[in-house]
């Protein structure tokens, strides 16, 4: 029986620090770094690489730990699918201090209701944030300000990537290991490699 952790931030490593979640996952019982799955993706995105890997890997009796329900998903529909999978695979979900034990296959109605309510609030919070962002962007445009992230150039590549890229170049590590060392997603590392190589 293994204990796995899942951490997620919506934006890349330059804007959000995922290490706090990793530290909390260790405190919640995820002792092995290899059992931690993390990524920089939107919580509403259904097809997330690391989450899908985790959900495929888990076996009966295993435990998935995350710091809060919004980390694993901000979609009520996807949360319901994860609850169904947890019951089918008979695993345990630990969401911060909230324990959802599906190891017997069944989930009591009160626990299921509370979990789904947490999911509704996480989705509502995300929608409110999105609404505020859109309103702020419209206000900025009205004032003539440019919108969007600054373009990543070779001068703006993270120092961690510059430090560890030679190991990747010499085939001492693969792209996933490089992403972990740089504390960013594999997609970001792939983009950095293209920028570094002038592609």
Q: What is the pLDDT of residue 126?
A: 64
- pLDDT tens digits along 160-194: 888 888 889 888 999 888 988 888 888 888 888 88
Instruction: Check pLDDT > 90 for residue 66.
Output: yes
Residue with tokens 């600054």: 150
Q: Which of 15-19, 54-58, 79-83, 149-153 has the lowest mean pLDDT?
A: 149-153
- pLDDT tens digits along 13-25: 555 678 889 999 9
Nearest Cα residue to 88 out of 73, 77, 104, 72: 104
Write the DSSP symbol of residue 155.
G
- Report how far residue 150's alpha carbon sits from residue 144's, in angstroms, rounded to the nearest whole number: 16
Instruction: Check pLDDT > 90 for residue 74.
Output: no
The secondary structure element, H or E, covering residue 193 is helix 186-196
Residues 46, 78 contacting (CB under 8 angstroms): yes
- Report how far residue 32's alpha carbon sits from residue 63's, in angstroms, rounded to the nearest whole number: 13
Q: What is the pLDDT of residue 186?
A: 83
Instruction: Check pLDDT > 60 for residue 147.
Output: no
What are the angstrom distances between the C-alpha of 7 and each of 22, 33, 76, 119? 7, 12, 18, 16
Mean pLDDT of 36-45: 87
The secondary structure element, H or E, covering residue 66 is strand 63-66
Mean pLDDT of 119-142: 70
Q: Annotated active-site positions, please?
A: 10
Q: Which of 36-40, 127-131, 195-199 has the lowest mean pLDDT?
A: 127-131
């Amino acid at each position: 029986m293994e204990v796995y952790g899942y951490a997620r931030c919506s934006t890349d490593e330059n804007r959000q620090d995922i290490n706090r979640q990793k530290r909390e996952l260790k405190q919640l019982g995820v002792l092995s770094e290899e059992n931690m799955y993390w990524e920089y993706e939107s919580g509403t995105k259904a097809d997330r690489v690391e989450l899908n890997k985790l959900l495929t890997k888990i076996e009966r009796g295993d435990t998935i730990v995350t710091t809060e329900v919004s980390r694993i998903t901000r979609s009520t529909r996807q949360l319901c699918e994860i609850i169904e999978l947890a019951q089918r695979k008979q695993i345990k979900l630990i969401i911060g201090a909230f324990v959802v034990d599906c190891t017997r296959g069944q989930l009591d109605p009160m626990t299921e209701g509370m979990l789904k309510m947490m999911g509704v609030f996480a989705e509502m919070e995300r929608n409110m944030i999105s609404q505020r962002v859109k309103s702020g962007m419209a206000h900025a445009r009205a004032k003539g300000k440019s919108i969007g992230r600054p373009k990543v150039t070779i001068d703006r590549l993270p120092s961690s990537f510059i430090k560890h890229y030679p190991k990747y170049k010499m085939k001492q590590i693969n792209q996933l290991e490089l992403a972990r060392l740089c504390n960013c997603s594999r997609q970001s590392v792939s983009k950095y490699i293209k920028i570094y190589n002038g592609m």
